[in-house]
A and B are shown apart, each in its own frame.
Chain A
Amino acid sequence: MNKIALALAATSVLALGACKKQAPEDLPPAPQNTSAPAPTPAPSGPQGAVPGTQAHFAQQMQGRDSIYFDTDKFNIDAEDQAALSQQAAYLRQYPNIRATVEGHCDERGTREYNLALGERRANAAKNYLVSLGVPAERLTTVSYGKERPAALGSNAEAWARNRRAVTIVLN
């Protein structure tokens, strides 16, 4: 009993630590899906990414292509809403592009539950984008559960960065 109580106490301390949103000073790197070469050199941003591509989207979002969740949670909070609004504005600006929302979890859960939880997170983000006027037909979802971590450590900070939904523009 004592051991369990101790373990519970330890977990809640941990949970409290993990409840804080992910530390924004160390944002996960933007996905490197720059596979599609720019067909025409577009006169765009300073980096030269073509508008409407994943590279351009990631550049414009400045980290807000990802939203983060608390342990086991999939609700969209104010911080997430701001990020998703920015994503939605971009997607409305380029009405011909499609995007997929990836749902991810931290490693501290069982594999199959995490696949289901990742689905929940991806769908929560997608539904919010749809509510902001992005047609549902342009959005797909995929859950990777705990299979594709962005942060590699086994600590509360890494786990917070891995509980995420990432929007990727499909080129």
Chain B
Amino acid sequence: MTTVRTMLLGMGLCLFAVLAAAQGVSSPAVQVPDLEEGGLSGSVTDESAWQDLSIAIPSFATDRDQPTPANSQGTAALGVELGRVVYGDLANNGLFRPLGPDSLPRPGYQQITAPAWSTWSGRSAEMLVHGYVRAGEGGRLTVGCYLYDVQLQQQLVREGWVVDPADWRRAAHKCADLIYSRLSGESPFFDSKIAYIAETGPKDKRIKRLAIMDSDGANHRFITSGQSTALTPRYSPDYSKIAYVSYLNGYARIYVYDIGSGRQTLVTESQNPTFAPRWAPNGRTILYSMAVNGNTDIYSVPATGGNPRRLTDAPGIDVGGSYSPDGSKIVFESDRSGNQQIYVMNADGTGQRRISFFGGRAATPEWSPRGDQIAFTHIVGDLRVGVMSPEGRNMRHLTDSWQDEAPTWAPNGRIVQFFRTARNTGETSIWQVDLTGRNERRLPTPVGASDPAWGPVLP
């Protein structure tokens, strides 16, 4: 059962926040009526009830149709695209049943603040998203986003942003985040980026390049040329760097790539291979695994360089590692018991104990940013993505395929992302699945894709 109740919203809290902090901010674009106590606080006790929540997301309206650097056809066409991006975000994540702009009538500019209620109630829409886009000075765009309850004929939340034309999709993601957060009670996650490995070529001569993209696959960009194999990237929490493994000089080493300058440095000077880089939640420490004479252990090192600290010393393979959100603990993988299992230790390496006891092998643990779950790869013949509590209880599978591995979390801890390998061809693709395991979707990528890692929600 789903409980929906109204609650008092702090006034002015989310009125016209502005992106692009560096530049001057336009005044609020549209004077809208004062908020009453409108609002909606969801407490989700049954996922299926939420899936029935229908949301109409028509095109965003514009006051004056004119071409912008974001869309040469004009702001009206851009408004359609904005609606499509919001629709794409809210579709297939298990909470909503959205209707997109391609199947809905197009509201006029004046209707954005005064919806034609009968149009939407006649379409059985329970929720209604309205938005507008206006071209401003210097080609900058002002985008407004409104969420209405159709039955109550009431505005639930609104927000607006001023963005550079190149960032128009971010405004749509911010709108989707606003709606998602308001209706689900969860933290936002759409306005974020993903680092991954782009794969091309046959299985025995696979070219692997470091690449980045928005959370929905847009704004794709290759970072490395593919001359040397790149693996397992991780965004720093502030998005300024990516730690990843490269065979740049013939051997596996972790490099920290600075996105702004394009320069990269070794995470630590060593004659030994280093791999499995992981950032601490505060970005100050990097975990890495290093093999010395065939024996792999986990180390930590300050992100700015300095003396590494060895955290494990078991004779087996200790590898990977993922910090708890408060940085006090690390979940990692070890085969000290004879095969891959999952262990937890304090951040200084003390108190190591095994938590996985459900049969099969368990690998690549990742602590949820909410702290309540650990995602991992469960190997029982096939490789599947599973989750369990930090105590190793309540293990359940989210996927059931031939080879799904290396889950990482959406910034809100609600969606898990992983890559799937096809039998024989070895072709790879990135997938997202919600915590019910029922809603799975493939992320569009220009070529094969593996090792996805989500960064945090952008400020």
B293: chain A residues within 8 A (beta carbon): 123
Complex CA gap A147/B273 in Å reads: 15
Please state if B406 and A122 are interface contacts (CB–CB under 8 Å): no
Q: Is A99 an interface residue (CB 8 A)?
A: no
Write the chain B residue with the least CB distance to A10: B381
Write the chain A residue with the least CB distance to B251: A142
B377: chain A residues within 8 A (beta carbon): 110
Q: C-beta contact mask, A58-77 vs B, less than 8 Å → 1, else 0?
A: 00000000000000101000
Write the chain A residue with the least CB distance to B202: A152
Please state if B276 and A122 are interface contacts (CB–CB under 8 Å): no
Complex CA gap A153/B423 in Å reads: 8
Q: Is A148 an interface residue (CB 8 A)?
A: yes
Within 8 A of A (CB), among B302-335: 317, 319-320, 333, 335
Q: Is B203 an interface residue (CB 8 A)?
A: yes
B253 → chain A closest CB, angstroms? 11
A74: chain B residues within 8 A (beta carbon): 294
A113: chain B residues within 8 A (beta carbon): 317, 319, 333, 335, 340, 363-364
Q: Is A97 an interface residue (CB 8 A)?
A: no
B340: chain A residues within 8 A (beta carbon): 110, 113
Please state if A72 and B291 are interface contacts (CB–CB under 8 Å): no
A80: chain B residues within 8 A (beta carbon): none
Please state if A110 and B289 are interface contacts (CB–CB under 8 Å): no
B380: chain A residues within 8 A (beta carbon): 4, 7-8, 11
Q: Is A150 an interface residue (CB 8 A)?
A: yes
B151: chain A residues within 8 A (beta carbon): none
Please state if B296 and A110 are interface contacts (CB–CB under 8 Å): no
Please state if A8 and B359 are interface contacts (CB–CB under 8 Å): yes
B83 → chain A closest CB, angstroms? 39
Within 8 A of A (CB), among B275-294: 275-276, 289, 291, 293-294
A147: chain B residues within 8 A (beta carbon): 206, 208, 229, 231
Complex CA gap A110/B450 in Å reads: 12
Q: Is B250 an interface residue (CB 8 A)?
A: yes
Please state if A112 and B320 are interface contacts (CB–CB under 8 Å): yes
Please state if A112 and B289 are interface contacts (CB–CB under 8 Å): yes
Please state if B421 and A107 are interface contacts (CB–CB under 8 Å): yes
Please state if B405 and A120 are interface contacts (CB–CB under 8 Å): no
Q: Is A124 an interface residue (CB 8 A)?
A: yes
Q: Known contacts A110-B364, A112-B232, A119-B294; is A4 also within 8 Å of B359 by CB? A: yes
Q: Known contacts A122-B294, A153-B424, A154-B424; is A7 also within 8 Å of B289 by CB? A: no
A34 → chain B closest CB, angstroms? 17
Within 8 A of A (CB), among B326-361: 333, 335, 339-340, 359-360
Most interface-central of B232, B291, B319 (chain A CB within 10 A): B291
B202: chain A residues within 8 A (beta carbon): 152
Contact partner, B252, options A11, A143, A153, Cβ 8 Å: A143
A84 → chain B closest CB, angstroms? 15
Q: Is B215 an interface residue (CB 8 A)?
A: no
B393 → chain A closest CB, angstroms? 16
Interface residues on B, range: 35 or more
Q: Is B403 an interface residue (CB 8 A)?
A: yes
* A to B contact number (C-beta, < 8 Å): 109
Interface residues on A, range: 20 to 34
B424: chain A residues within 8 A (beta carbon): 152-154
Please state if B383 and A108 are interface contacts (CB–CB under 8 Å): yes
Please state if A110 and B275 are interface contacts (CB–CB under 8 Å): no
Complex CA gap A142/B67 in Å reads: 55
Please state if A112 and B229 are interface contacts (CB–CB under 8 Å): no
B102 → chain A closest CB, angstroms? 39
Q: Is A45 an interface residue (CB 8 A)?
A: no
Complex CA gap A119/B319 in Å reads: 12
Complex CA gap A8/B208 in Å reads: 33
Q: Is B46 an interface residue (CB 8 A)?
A: no
Complex CA gap A8/B273 in Å reads: 34
Please state if A116 and B379 are interface contacts (CB–CB under 8 Å): no
Q: Is B159 an interface residue (CB 8 A)?
A: no
Please state if A111 and B317 are interface contacts (CB–CB under 8 Å): no
Please state if B381 and A11 are interface contacts (CB–CB under 8 Å): yes
Q: Is B426 an interface residue (CB 8 A)?
A: yes
Q: Is B440 an interface residue (CB 8 A)?
A: no
Contact partner, A116, options B204, B291, B381, Cβ 8 Å: B291
Write the chain B residue with the least CB distance to A15: B381
Within 8 A of A (CB), among B430-459: 450-451
Please state if A119 and B296 are interface contacts (CB–CB under 8 Å): yes
Please state if A110 and B339 are interface contacts (CB–CB under 8 Å): no
Most interface-central of A109, A124, A148 (chain B CB within 10 A): A109
List the 3 closest A-B pairs by CB distance, nearest first.
A123-B294, A119-B291, A116-B296
Q: Which residues of B line the A interface, CB within 8 A?
A: 202-204, 206, 208, 229, 231-232, 245, 250-252, 273, 275-276, 289, 291, 293-296, 317, 319-320, 333, 335, 339-340, 359-360, 363-364, 377, 379-383, 403, 405-406, 421, 423-424, 426, 450-451
Q: Could you show 28 A-B contacts with beta carbons less than 8 Å apart?
A: A4-B360, A7-B381, A7-B382, A8-B360, A72-B339, A108-B383, A110-B340, A110-B363, A110-B379, A110-B383, A110-B406, A111-B232, A111-B451, A112-B276, A113-B335, A115-B245, A115-B319, A116-B317, A120-B294, A120-B296, A120-B317, A149-B203, A149-B426, A150-B204, A152-B203, A152-B424, A152-B426, A154-B426
